[in-house]
Amino acid sequence: MDEQTVTKLSVLADKVRLDTLQTLKNMGYGHLGGSFSIAELLAVLYGKQMKIDPKNPKWEERDRLVLSKGHAGPGLYAMLAEMGYFEKSMLATLNEGGTNLPSHPDRLKTPGVDATTGSLGQGTSVAAGIATGLRLDKKENYVYLICGDGELNEGQCWEAFQYLAHFKLNNCIVIIDDNKKQLDGLTVDIMNPFDFQKKMEAFGFYTLRVKGHDIQGIDEAINELKTVEDQAVCLVLDSIKGQGVPYFEVLQDNHSVKFNNDEINQATEEAIALLEKSIKEREVHV
Ligand SMILES: Cc1ncc(C[n+]2csc(CCOP(=O)(O)OP(=O)(O)O)c2C)c(N)n1
C-alpha cells in the first residue's frame, strides 16, 4: 500500500473516532472503547478491502460485514456515514425513539447494516450462515465477522467457528478484536480465553495476528488470508480499548463512557480539537 493510501485510511479511522466522540458526547454516554479499537480495521475494510456500493446498500454482489460485538454500533454508524450510506446529521439521532440508528445494529433499519446484532455470540452464527449461502450460490464475496475478545466467552462462537473450519468457509474472514477488556474488567480476569491465535489454529483456522492500529499490517494480513485455500481464516487484532486517544486508552472504565464530569468533558473537548486539527493537516495530502 502506498503512503498516500495509508494516510487516507488513517484519516478515515480518525474521522470515525471524531464522529463517534461527538455523537456519544451529544447523547451523554455510550460505547466508546470498543468502537475506537476497531477504527483502523473498519477504515481498511470499508476504505479498501470491501466490495460495496454505499448508494446501493442492498447490492447483491456486495461483501457483507457482521459486527457481532454489536454494542460498537456507534463506530460502525460513523463509518457508514463517512462512506455516504446516509447523511452524517443522522448520527445525532443515535438511540432516540424512532431512530434509524438504534444503539445496536438492526439490518431492517439502517442502510449498510448487513446483520442485526447485540446479543453477543449470535453474529458468529449469522455470519456462518451468510458464508454458507454465498458458497451455495457460488458467489466470490466475503463476509467479515468482527467479534470481541469478551464476546468469545459465549459458547455459541466456538460452535460457529468449528462449523466454519469444518466446511472450510474461507469466504468468512473472522476477526477477533483482542482489546483485552470487556464490559467490567480485563478479559483475562473475567474468564481467561488463553491464546486466541493458538486456539483458533487448534480449531483448524489459518490465523494471523496484527496490531490494531497498523493499517498497512491489517491490509496485508487480509490480503494474505484471501490467498488461503481449503481452510477457514482468522485475524486476531491486537488492539487497545479506546485506541487512538491517549486519555481514553488509559481510562479504566472505557467500555461505555459517561460524559458526566468536568475531567471527562475537558478531555473530550481536547480530544475533539486535536482530532479535528490532525485530520485537517493530513487531509491535504490525500
Ligand atoms: C449475550 C450477551 N450477554 C451480555 C451482554 C452485555 N454486554 C455488552 S458488551 C459486553 C462486553 C463485551 O466485551 P467485548 O466483546 O470484549 O467487547 P469490546 O471490549 O470490544 O467492547 C457485555 C457483557 C450482551 N450484549 N449479550
- Residues 65-96 pLDDT 10s: 999 999 999 999 999 999 999 999 999 999 99
Q: Hey, what's the cell of 43?
A: 477504515
State the pLDDT at residue 285: 87
Q: Which atom of ligand 1 is found nearest the CA of 119?
A: 26
Above 90 in pLDDT, residue 149?
Answer: yes
Q: Rg (Cα) of the chain, in Å, rounded? A: 18
Domain of residue 198, CATH code: 3.40.50.970
Mean pLDDT of 22-37: 98
Burial of 68 (0-12, 13-18, 19+ CB in 10 A): buried
From 124, 180, 183, the mutation candidate for ligand 1 (largest count of ligand atoms within 8 A of CB) is 183
From 31, 36, 71, the mutation candidate for ligand 1 (largest count of ligand atoms within 8 A of CB) is 71
183 lines ligand 1 (CB under 6 A): yes
Q: Which atom of ligand 1 is found nearest the CA of 182?
A: 13
Mean pLDDT of 211-217: 98
CA of 105 relative to ligand 1 center, distance in Å: 14
Q: How many domains does the chain have?
A: 1
Q: Hey, what's the cell of 160?
A: 460457529
Domain that holds residue 49: 3-283
Q: Hey, what's the cell of 215?
A: 493499517
CA distance 128 to 123: 8
State the pLDDT at residue 59: 98
179 lines ligand 1 (CB under 6 A): yes
Confidence class for position 286, pLDDT limits 50, 70, 90: confident
Above 90 in pLDDT, residue 30?
Answer: yes
Residue 3 corresponds to which amino acid?
A: E
- Residues 117-148 pLDDT 10s: 999 999 999 999 999 999 999 999 999 999 99
Compute the half-sphere exposure of residue 151: CA atoms within 13 Å on the CB side of its CA: 26
Mean pLDDT of 199-220: 98
Confidence class for position 23, pLDDT limits 50, 70, 90: very high
Q: Hey, what's the cell of 73?
A: 454500533
Q: Is 230 left (phi over 0), alpha (psi -120 to 50) or beta?
A: left
Mean pLDDT of 262-281: 98
Asked if 15 contacts 83 with a C-beta cutoff of 8 angstroms, the reply is no
